[in-house]
Amino acid sequence: MSTQKSSFSNRGFQIHQSVIRHPGGGAHDRIIHIVNRALRGVRSGEHPAPHGDAAGKRPALTLDLSFQGMQHIPEDVVDLTKEDLEWLTISHNLLTCLPTRFGACMNLRYLDISNNDLNEFPLSICQLKSLEILNVAHNSLGNIPDQIVLLSSLKALFLQSNQIGSLPLSIGLMESLQLIKISGNPIEYPPPEILKV
């Protein structure tokens, strides 16, 4: 495992959300409305494929749902986007978990869930075989599960400023992993000095 920073190009189109301030169903309905609007743009070909993509290829779906005050992600979002979603930012919210079906987003390559209220690492993330960059920094995670080794495409892992006391040795078996950041954690095992971070 080396410290070389991986190169990842976000070639999809960006959907920036306006701040959701409506509680309860209002927030849910507004999120679903925004997602549906984004999907219509992708599936209708309204947004042409970026330069260099194969002709006729549908552009990737990119969603930025950061700073929304969300306490949970509606399961509907997963059902609607699982075939198209490649880039998802849900940082700076109040999330304590992810939908149980989140692992169905099999084309997801980038996930930023930093600065939330996660106490446990969502196991559904470990089903994301295409995931290349994962940012779970600035949460309250106490450990990282052994199942993280299932992320066979993962290149960069950001774990800073959690409550992690140990890392699974299986991380050393992740051949694609090039960058791991662990500062701001009370890690005792394996000793931080033997980790190439």
Domain boundaries, the chain: 13-194
Cβ burial 84-112 (10 Å sphere, 16+ → b, else e) = bbbbbbbbbbebebbbeebbbbebbbbbb
Decide: pTM greater than 0.75: yes
User: Nearest Cα to 14, choosing from 43, 47, 54, 52?
Assistant: 47
Residue 21 contacts residue 193 (beta carbons within 8 Å): no
Average pLDDT of the residues in 29-54: 67
pLDDT tens digits, residue range 120-137? 999 999 999 999 999 999
pLDDT exceeds cutoff 70 at 195: no
The residues that bridge with 15 in the sheet, in sequence order, are 63
Supply the CATH classification number for the domain 13-194: 3.80.10.10
pLDDT digits (tens, 9 = 90+) for 85-121: 999 999 999 999 999 999 999 999 999 999 999 999 9
